[in-house]
Amino acid sequence: MTAKLIDGKAFAATVREKVAGHVARLKEDHGITPGLAVVLVGEDPASQVYVRSKGKQTVEVGMNSYEHKLEADTSEADLLALIDKLNKDDSVHGILVQLPLPGHLNEDLVINSIAPEKDVDGFHISNVGLLGTGQKSMVPCTPLGCLMMLRDYHGSLSGMNAVVVGRSNIVGKPMANLLLKDSCTVTIAHSRTKDIEAVCKQADIVVAAVGRPEMITGDWIKPGATVIDVGINRIDAPEKGEGKTRLVGDCHFDSCAEVAGAITPVPGGVGPMTIACLLANTVTACCRANNLNEPEGLTA
């Protein structure tokens, strides 16, 4: 392997430390404890794991965690009433509704009922619009984590050619907007892109958010480019024993690492940064709500 490994796990620990420092100062200097409310509807096992992990890390950095677990058949009216209550609660600075929601609930309606300044996932249409027009907003956590790692590694991103593979609302599009805001020349590739390999090969930065295991291989990468692999895919791993699986990204790690200048691993790359950025967004939201200076380096 020739590429430098961008260690998301270690970087996320430094972000959490910074957040914890700000939380301590908010408590000491202003008597304010940031609070994050997480709403889970139903019993999706993966969502339960995420929510537990978010709650644990929230408490570890000194913030208040409020978990609201609702039955899978909760009505839209009841969910909206809870969000309305949380919107009005001054001890809650961030609200996250764990997605996906059960089919009978309208996700767009629910997300857009969160007060935009408390929308720590950055999915509210106001925040999408603010980010799209280069204004101050709450920024979606996964792309924010990618941006932090890129800034940390490169310093300025200005003038770099960036290719984002994937155009989802939660990763691809906000990632492209963030890179544009940092003055990259940005291309978004997707399932209809022609000669996607050649498109990737001219990039100084490739961000892969596709959901296809190991799709991007080393021969797609320009020598020395930086590869940020957002993908989390579970594949069979017969080499580990019958029925065993392992996690891989959207990039084929070994071949990409032979060509790239730097690369994030899966697991241990973008993944840990996502919750760290959720905590960062909550402390940012708390500072904004109280007209206090925002912590530096924790937002776009």
Q: For helices 172-181 and 141-154, what crossing angle results, to 10°? A: 40
Look at phi and psi of residue 194 and say left if phi exceeds 0, alpha if psi is from -120 to 50, else beta.
Answer: beta
Q: Which of 18, 57, 98, 173 is catalytic?
A: 98
Q: Is 174 in the site for ligand NDP (CB under 6 A)?
A: no
Q: Smallest distance from the beta carbon of 123 to ligand NDP, in angstroms? A: 12
Query: Using an 8 Å Cβ cutoff, are 39 and 98 in contact?
Result: yes
In whole angstroms, how close is the CB of 208 to ligand NDP at the nearest point? 8
Half-sphere exposure of 300 (CA within 13 A, CB side): 32
Q: Is 254 a catalytic residue?
A: no
Shortest approach of ligand NDP to residue 12 CB, angstroms?
A: 11
Where is 227: in which H helix or E strand? Answer: strand 226-229
Please, which residue, 74 or 282, has the CB nearer to ligand NDP? Answer: 282
DSSP state of 136: -
Residue pair 189/196 in contact by the 8 Å Cβ criterion: yes
From first CA to last CA, the distance across the chain in angstroms is 31
x/- string (CB under 6 A) for ligand NDP, residues 235-264? ---------------x--------------
What is d(CA 168, CA 142) in angstroms, rounded to the nearest whole number?
A: 12
* Residues in 30-49 that interact with ligand NDP by CB under 6 A: none
**Given the complex with ligand NDP, which of 200 and 259 has the nearer CB atom?**
200
Of the candidates 288, 276, 221, 293, the one whose C-alpha atom is nearest the C-alpha of residue 14 is 276
Q: Is 54 in the site for ligand NDP (CB under 6 A)?
A: no
Task: Report cis status (omega within 30 of 0) of the bond before 267.
Answer: yes
236 is catalytic: no
Of 258, 184, 173, 166, nearest to 221 (Cα)? 258
Sign of CA dihedral 208, 212, 214, 217: negative
Query: What residues numbered 108-147 form the site for ligand NDP, per CB under 6 A?
Result: 142
Binding to ligand NDP in span 178-217, by CB under 6 A: 189-192, 196, 209-212
- Which one of 18, 57, 119, 121 is the catalytic residue? 121
| C-beta nearest to ligand NDP: residue | 168
Instruction: Select from 165, 247, 238 the least CA-distant residue to 206.
Output: 165
Q: Which is nearer to ligand NDP, 92 or 162 (CB)?
A: 162
Shortest Cβ distance from residue 254 to ligand NDP (Å)? 19
CB of 211 to ligand NDP, least distance (A): 4
Residue among 33, 48, 106, 168 that touches ligand NDP (CB under 6 A): 168
Please enumerate in sequence order all residues whose Cβ is within 8 A of that of 59, keeping only pairs 6 or more positions apart, or say none: 65
- Which of these ranges, 19-27, 169-177, 219-227, 234-242, lies near ligand NDP under the rule CB under 6 A? 169-177
Asked if 80 contacts 88 with a C-beta cutoff of 8 angstroms, the reply is no
Amino acid, res. 129: G
The reply to whether 19 sits near ligand NDP by the rule CB under 6 A is no
What is the smallest separation between the CB atom of 77 and ligand NDP, expressed in angstroms?
A: 28
**277 is a contact residue toward ligand NDP (CB under 6 A):** no
Which residues of the shown chain bind ligand NDP in the complex (CB under 6 A)?
142, 165-168, 170-172, 189-192, 196, 209-212, 230-233, 250, 270-271, 274
Give catalytic residue positions.
Answer: 54, 98, 121
